[in-house]
Amino acid sequence: MSSENEKYRIYAIKYAHHDRMSSENFIGGDPHDVPMPLDYYVWAIVGTAATYVVDMGFDAEMASQRGRTIIHSVEQGLERVGIIAAEVKEVIITHMHYDHAGNHDLFPKARFHLQDSEMAFCTGRCMCHQGIRHAFEVEDVKSMVGNVFAGRVQFHDGDSELAPGITLHRVGGHSDGLQVVRVRTERGWVVLASDASHYYANMQRQQAYPIVYNIGDMLEGFVTLRRLADSDDHIIPGHDPLVLQRYPAFDAETEQWIARVDLAPER
């Protein structure tokens, strides 16, 4: 297959979990206030010639510090689909929050793809405010600065083609430089929304998640997701347990752990 027509496989890999109520997941709350847990994912985009990992997750120490539960380590999840973290060459960082930019020693050979505006945001004056910086970890930020000086970061300014069939798009909102990833698959254009929409329900209700830098950008981000994806079923939210319920598992042993989101949803 020509690289110009490459169609990728995409794995959603759950590595951690956090129990919480639905009122915590929407600005303005939820009058029903029912259990609505968060799942934590990284994603792997696999082509015939190259593999791209999207986000790095966090480790057991950070899970303990933040009151989260590791289900399988990121390294284990990647290995289960045939990817050795230490050999990965390309990592896309959707944004620099602790659950997306941790594990910074896991990918020693990788080049990191990051929006200019996100690096400026997490090292700039907004980090003087606890209400904004609480979702970031200083060691993750310091590590990425080290990667910049080591020549291991490729910056992107807005929309960018990473490879034929993979594009990056800055949407902001949740974090100032949040980017989403559009991927060509056999079933069409799939968008890895990351935290542009934590849950399907954030986008469906047009109701923003409470950790947000710019509410207007977050709401406009829902419009962008729909513009980039072939349908709502082609949008993969960043933390929704429904992803593992709707999409086929990688194999019989990875139910509720690893899903193939390049395939059509089963329900």
- pLDDT tens for residues 35-46? 999 999 999 999
Q: What is the pTM of this model?
A: 0.97
Q: Residue 2: what pLDDT?
A: 55
Residue 156 structure tokens: 């992107």
Query: Thinking of the domain 3-260, which architecture would CATH place it in?
Result: 4-Layer Sandwich (3.60)
Mean pLDDT of 64-88: 98
Q: What percent of the chain has pLDDT over 90?
A: 97
Alpha-carbon gap, residue 154 to 13, rounded angstroms: 24
Cα distance between residue 228 and residue 159, in whole Å:
11
Cα–Cα nearest to 38, from 19, 57, 22, 24: 19
